[in-house]
Structure 1
Amino acid sequence: MKKILFFGDSNTYGFDPAGPIGGRYPEAQRWTNILMRSLGPEWTLEADGLNGRMIPDSPYMQGMLWDSVLRHEPDVLVIMLGSNDILSSRAEEPEDILTEISGKIESLMQYLAIQKKRAGLDFQIMLCVPPKMHTGVMRFDRTSGELPAVYRESAHRFAAHFIDASSWQVELTGDGVHFSEQGHKAFAVRMAQELKNHTL
């Protein structure tokens, strides 16, 4: 049996922007639960999603990720973060935002490589680019569309599997950031394909 840990932000949490503050889609409508049902009994899935989460780039935040790994003991760790890093950036140019994110990703992947070696663990890491945002703010949307090159390079350098969900045409809600109900379904289908084709 394979255990997969998804570490992400509000879209992994299942946030519903049309619901009350902090509200979530019903469990059956979240992509993580749809995915779990489609994978079958030979897989187990843990979803560690948090609204507003950014790429861990401090010892405390990186430690939270590692604590989650030790708690769940996955065979596969899928990291899907970056949207909030774009939205919170004060940089005016997409190139500068991408430089910020590249530094965070490199720091995180290096941290995980060190921790895996120290702990003697051998889980697979999959680095996933979030679906492309459509916020109406040009520098944010352009940066979102250019994330694949940054993530692909880091994944290659640290022998992780690269997933480009920005190309999946996932339907978003009116805020251009969060998955719609149909988006959750579509994302689950594509992620299932990735896992079945590229996991150990």
Structure 2
Amino acid sequence: MKTLVCFGDSITSKEKSDDGSLRLTSRVRLSLQKWNVINAGVPAETTRVALTRFQEDVLRHNPDLVTILFGANDASSHRLIEVEEYKNNLEYMIEKLGPSKVILVSPSPVNERFQHARSNEGLKHYAKAVRELAKKYNTHFVDLWAEMIGKDYCQMLNEDGLHFNKKGYKLLADLVIQKMEKLTKACSTKPILQQ
């Protein structure tokens, strides 16, 4: 059985929301039952802190694919990790895993009416950095920023203006599932993503 690790912050963490609705990993697991899906999300985490658990929570599983979704906390005024360090931290992860095993996911916009520690003007630079890294390393890429900014994204967020509601998780999970199904089809005649 192939292994997917979903690595990230609170957007990735937990299997269910408080209202009982499914979040990212539980939705992916239901759709792609031939995959072992591991949730490696930790709330409030930046890429700097994530590096300290990267070996234990990601590499140790010898994953076939890893979604990497950080940025909301890196871009926050109270935990700020500058864009250059953010990029360097993501580059370390990509290089350790190998680009063919990585699905980079850009951070999402926030509802600024309720979010005072984060701005979309700031977050767009982190989303751009992820897009640039995906191109540089030729990793797999889910442009969550573009997908949400082109829609009424505030309808996909909880009242805190940051975390996802049911609609937001459906969008995120659908994008990841579509990407994985496309990769699986492309590699159906050979072992997936072997380097």
TM value normalised by structure 2 = 0.76
Separation in 2, partners of 1:42, 1:51: 27
- Distance change in 2, residues 1:174/1:26 (3 Å): closer
SS at match of 1:7: strand
Separation in 1, partners of 2:90, 2:36: 25
Which residue pairs with 1:176 in the alignment?
161
Shift of 1:148: 2.9
Shift of 1:128: 0.8
Deviates more, 1:124-133 or 1:151-160: 151-160
Which residue pairs with 2:42 in the alignment?
50
User: Number of aligned pairs?
Assistant: 177
Q: What is the percentage of aligned positions where both structures have the same residue?
A: 27
AA matched with 1:179: F
TM value normalised by structure 1 = 0.74
Which residue pairs with 1:78 in the alignment?
67
Say if 1:11 and 1:49, in contact at 8 Å, map to a contact too.
Answer: yes
Mark the runs of 5 or more structure 1 residues left unpaired by the alignment: 17-23, 92-96
Is residue 125 from structure 1 mapped to residue 118 from structure 2 by the alignment? no
Which residue pairs with 1:38 in the alignment?
31
Deviates more, 1:24-33 or 1:48-57: 24-33
Which residue pairs with 1:155 in the alignment?
134
Structure 1: which 4+ aligned runs deviate by more than 4 Å? none
Say if 1:129 and 1:148, in contact at 8 Å, map to a contact too.
Answer: yes
AA matched with 2:165: S
Relative contact order: is structure 1 or structure 2 higher (C-alpha 8 Å, sep ≥ 6)?
1
Separation in 2, partners of 1:37, 1:27: 15
- What is the root-mean-square deviation in Å for CA atoms of aligned residues? 2.9
AA matched with 2:84: S
Which residue pairs with 1:68 in the alignment?
57
- Distance change in 2, residues 1:126/1:102 (3 Å): farther
